[in-house]
Amino acid sequence: MKSFVKIIPATCIAVMLCHVVIAQQPGYSDISISSISLNAAGAVKKVPAVSKSNNPADHPVTTTISGDILKCSITVNNASNANAYGAKLIVVLPAGATVSIATLPSNATPVSERVATGGGPGYIQFDLKVIFSNQPVTVEFTFNRSTGTNKLSAFVFCGVPDANATNNYKDVTY
């Protein structure tokens, strides 16, 4: 019985040491979506302010950006010492949103899966290739606003093991 009692602490120490070595292996990436934004990017409109005065000088005009076209900006970061090879970013679009192929960066591929149920591509896949350590990559694109909820979801992954996969997803609603 005494030898069994000695084996238990030794085994626990060995397991803890192995866990620390495995968790800190070189070659692990830590890619994440550090920011995502969705803003109006349509044409500039002049909107007259409401005034009860008959004097035209008392009728200021403000400019606003139309929300017919939305601009999405997503920044992906790699917070580890290892480079994240084979990185891809998937952005799920709202049903009915249409993307102009001409406005997409060259590393983007639109995938149409919802044409029969509302039109437009289902998602856009960005091939980010390599995300170097502590060198963020930002992708931007515009799309015509959907008539429904304008919510985008983004997910990033790579071919290198990720030390913290919980920060690989974000969404945004306009």
Contacts of 171 (CB under 8 A, 6+ apart): 36, 151, 152, 153, 154
- Residue 48: exposure state from Cβ atoms within 10 A (0-12, 13-18, ≥19): exposed
Tens digits of per-residue pLDDT, 25-52?
567 999 999 999 999 987 877 777 676 7
pLDDT at 160 over 50: yes
Question: Considering the chain, what is the average pLDDT of its residues?
Answer: 79
What are the angstrom distances between the C-alpha of 117 and each of 94, 114, 122, 143? 11, 5, 10, 18
The arithmetic mean of pLDDT across residues 98-106, rounded, is 79
Which tokens belong to 67? 């929300």
113, pLDDT greater than 70: no
The 10s digit of each residue's pLDDT in 75-101 is 999 999 999 999 999 999 888 888 877
pLDDT classification of 74: cutoffs 50, 70, 90 = very high
Distances (CA, A) of 39 to 68, 96, 112, 154, 157: 10, 18, 23, 16, 25
Q: How large a percentage of the chain has pLDDT more than 90?
A: 41
Distance (Å) of CA 49 to CA 5, 41, 125, 135, 138: 82, 22, 42, 45, 37
DSSP bridge pairs for 88: 127, 157
Lowest mean pLDDT among 41-50, 113-122, 141-150: 113-122
Per-residue model confidence (pLDDT) at position 6: 47
What's the CATH superfamily of 29-39+70-173? ntegrin, alpha v. Chain A, domain 3 (2.60.40.1510)
